[in-house]
Amino acid sequence: MTEAFSAVPEFMWNNIFTVINTLICGLIVAFFTSTFLKKKEERTRIAGVIVEKRINSEQDVLHFLEHELFKEEINIENSSKYDALFSDVLRTYGLPDPHEGHIQYARIFLSIDQFEPFFHAFEEKILTHKLWLDTKVRTHLVFMQMYFSVFISIPLMVKRIPLPKGKELTNEEFGHVYNQVLRLLGISCDGEINRFMSELDELIVDSVYKLELRRPRKSMMRDDMYNVDMAKCQKRLMRKTILGMKQENIFYLVMDTVYQIKGIDLSGMTDEEYGKFVRETDPEAYQEMQEKLQAFKENLEKMAGEKGVKIVSKKNLGKYYGQYGIPLRDILEGGDIQKVDDLAERDHTDGIS
């Protein structure tokens, strides 16, 4: 046997080893290649599932919003004699009129019976699809959810308006105030909502054509929603939206709407009537206001004694004709000293002469 192996030429042994070596290398390459291709195929399959789920989820949310935010325009079939006043009311309270007098708003702002079901359905849509949404799309939807939640808080603003005992809002009056404020804000925010929808559409298109499969490491709902991501949404809401920047204007709108329906005119009240009104609606605030007023009077009398001047009421100015003085309001606003004769004709309660 040994002689048989020895009789085989050396070049044949070299060819045999070359073939064996080639086969082994081929098997190794084939093994790693097949493993790589399988992993790549698996990733491609998973990416395809994610893209399909993402498209379906985002399309469902977008179609829902487009359907619910369908515009309601004032026309001859649904108009009333008060519609023309909407633009005037918005201008009165410093709220934007995005369509310059052409009244247009989403139909969900017609009444609370339409807005509240929309809001809860929108929340449910986000919860249902949040696992498949693109990170930027989900962030924008959470911001929109936060934005619409401000409209839900209108009842809280209405309940914080002080009213005298026995003049509380009835359920019917409460609903009327809510619906009126809701519609006015819907008109004022219509252009802004349109921009949010355009931004959402753009983010959805980018999420499909610029596919990003990596997921954020932390949820936006972490730490009971007290986190950096939610803080950014809150900051954007407060600094870059009508509902955030016009909070004070909106509160005055709610307050005047409540007082209008109850027949209360604060601007027409005398000081005594206003004091009585505050005392009846909020005794603690009235007591605090009286304490501050008393402290202010004491400081004013002390200052007058140090400067050698007198504090007199307007009804007694006639005793000081020919002298000079300055009203308390002008002191606070930086006015100049005038003749008492001229001050007697002005509408100021107190003056210093």
* 211 and 322 inside one domain: no
Q: pTM score, two decimals?
A: 0.70
On whether residue 115 sits in a domain, the answer given is yes
Give the contacts of 311 (CB within 8 A, at least 6 positions apart): 300, 301, 304, 350, 351, 352
Q: In whole angstroms, what is the distance from residue 112 CA to residue 107 CA?
A: 11
pLDDT at 185 over 90: yes
On whether residue 336 sits in a domain, the answer given is yes
Instruction: Check residues 106 and 266 and name the one with the higher pLDDT.
Output: 106
Pseudo-torsion of CA 257, 260, 262, 266, nearest 10°?
A: 110
Q: In whole angstroms, what is the distance from residue 255 CA to residue 315 CA?
A: 34
Structure tokens at 5: 């192996």
| Domain of residue 169, residue span | 52-269
Structure tokens at 149: 């939640």
Q: Cα–Cα–Cα angle for 157, 160, 161, nearest 5°? A: 95
Asked if 162 and 284 count as a contact pair (C-beta separation under 8 A), the reply is no
pLDDT at 6 over 60: no
* 116 and 10 inside one domain: no
* 21 and 93 inside one domain: no
Q: In whole angstroms, what is the distance from residue 299 CA to residue 321 CA?
A: 26
Q: Count the domains in the chain.
A: 3
Structure tokens at 36: 């790589």
Q: How confident is the model at residue 351 (pLDDT cuts 50, 70, 90)?
A: very low
Residue type at 158 in one-letter notation: V
Instruction: Check residues 243 and 331 and name the one with the higher pLDDT.
Output: 243
* 258 and 289 inside one domain: no
C-alpha separations of 305 from 308, 310, 334, 335 in Å: 5, 8, 20, 21
Q: Which pLDDT tens digit goes with each residue over 89-122?
A: 888 889 988 877 677 888 899 889 999 999 999 9
On whether residue 275 sits in a domain, the answer given is no
